[in-house]
């Protein structure tokens, strides 16, 4: 009887693990066309740099902007970012920045609009990473960060919902918690839970928001109150540990980012930011919420069953090089 029970449990466990493996989406590998970009000023083809190449230049901040069919909204966000960066250059002539827009397989003119914006504003610091096929927001952020040159790497949504000047306090707060060059700053809207923008949301949207937070709490992810705000700052060393080990390419990617940071002992701080609702969201509320719930369970299951490993990339600052110590498990890639 005991043997039969053990066999049944083993069969059940194997079935669960196999199901998790089968239903987990597989990120597509990069293609050669995505390794280059057209410089908006010189109009020449150039290779995208690498997160692991520390000879890329003395860039203080890299801004990574995931964009999917954003030709009508992204210009406003870029204007705000450029105004902020120019202000910092006036205060500190040695301050350098770059803007990396990741066109996530858009079927509008997002790439062309961004390059034209760069020409108009004489902004040679902008480059566009254009995907031949859509990956998802998480894939866009991850691939964009893998080309970043900055000592700080910020990803921000293309809709401009976050006040860009809040980078000042996000950077200051993250710098205050740095440990061995590691730190993550999480922009947060948690303080706005009773704000007009949230109160005026539809009942279904608020219900889904609170349900999502409840699920996160049950699964043990409660140290950060607002995991989904599209305004997060990574030190370069932290990004070198977290980003190469990412698997999730959908909307729920933030959760995996924060889990990897927590499991690798990277200090994190949540910082209140100014934020407002912007029309034109790309999310299908019910469908994408269901996919996020599915992906959340798959994240937990893949790490629980060892299908994904945390991995760790160690940055050797003294040698100016990076090496892998316990590489990420790429079984699904």
Which residues of the chain fall below pLDDT 70?
Answer: 1, 4, 56, 190-213, 215-222, 277-286, 288, 312-333
Domain-embedded: residue 281: yes
Whether residue 14 is contained in a domain is answered as no
Q: For 56-113, write each residue's pLDDT tens digit.
A: 679 999 999 999 999 999 999 999 999 999 999 999 999 999 999 999 999 999 999 9
Token reading at 154: 């910020």
Residue 13 lies in a domain: no
Please state the domain count of the chain: 1
Residue 330 lies in a domain: no
Measure the CA–CA gap between 9 and 103, rounded to whole angstroms. Answer: 46
Residue 181 lies in a domain: yes
pLDDT of residue 216: 67
Domain presence at residue 8: no
**Secondary structure element (H or E) that encloses residue 297, with its range:** helix 285-304
Q: Report pLDDT for 320.
A: 38
Decide: 120 and 35 in contact? Cβ < 8 Å: no
What was the pLDDT predicted at 316?
41
What range does the domain containing 165 cover? 29-320
Report the CATH number that the domain containing residue 92 is assigned in CATH: 3.90.550.10
Q: What is the pLDDT of residue 245?
A: 93
Residue with tokens 């859509």: 134
- The pLDDT value recorded for residue 286 is 66
Number of residues written out for the chain: 333
Q: Is residue 132 part of a domain?
A: yes
Q: What is the pLDDT of residue 208?
A: 61
**CB under 8 A, 24+ apart: contacts of 204-207:** 204/285, 204/286, 205/285
Query: Which stretches of 126-222 are assigned E, i.e. beta strand?
Result: 126-130, 152-156, 184-188
Is 4 domain-assigned? no
């Amino acid at each position: 009887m005991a043997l039969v029970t053990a066999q049944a449990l083993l069969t059940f466990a194997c079935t669960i693990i196999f199901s998790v493996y089968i239903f987990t989406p597989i990120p597509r590998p990069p293609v050669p066309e995505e390794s280059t970009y057209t410089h908006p000023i010189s109009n020449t083809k150039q290779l995208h740099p690498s997160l692991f190449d520390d000879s890329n230049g003395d860039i203080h901040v890299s801004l990574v902007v995931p964009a999917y069919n954003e030709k009508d909204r992204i210009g406003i966000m870029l204007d705000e970012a450029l105004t902020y960066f120019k202000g910092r250059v006036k205060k500190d002539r040695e301050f350098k920045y770059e803007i990396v827009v990741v066109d996530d397989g858009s079927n509008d003119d997002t790439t062309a609009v961004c390059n034209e914006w760069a020409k108009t504003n004489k902004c040679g610091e902008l480059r566009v990473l254009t995907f031949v096929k859509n990956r998802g927001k998480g894939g866009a952020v991850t691939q964009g960060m893998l080309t970043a040159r900055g000592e700080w790497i910020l990803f921000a949504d293309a809709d401009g919902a976050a006040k860009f000047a809040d980078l000042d306090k996000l950077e200051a707060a993250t710098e205050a918690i740095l440990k061995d060059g590691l730190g993550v700053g999480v922009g947060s809207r948690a303080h706005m839970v009773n704000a007009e923008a949230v109160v005026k949301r539809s009942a279904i949207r608020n219900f889904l928001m609170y349900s999502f937070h409840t699920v996160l709490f049950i699964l043990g992810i409660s140290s950060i109150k607002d995991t989904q705000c599209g305004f997060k700052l990574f030190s370069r060393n932290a990004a070198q540990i977290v980003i190469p080990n990412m698997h999730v390419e959908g909307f729920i990617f933030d959760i995996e980012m924060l889990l990897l940071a927590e499991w690798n002992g990277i200090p994190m701080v949540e910082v209140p930011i100014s934020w407002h609702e912007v029309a034109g969201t790309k999310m299908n509320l019910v469908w994408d919420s269901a996919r996020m719930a599915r992906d959340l369970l798959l994240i937990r299951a893949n790490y629980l069953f060892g299908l994904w490993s945390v991995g760790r990339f160690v940055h050797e600052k003294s040698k100016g090089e990076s090496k892998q110590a316990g590489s990420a498990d790429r079984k699904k890639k």
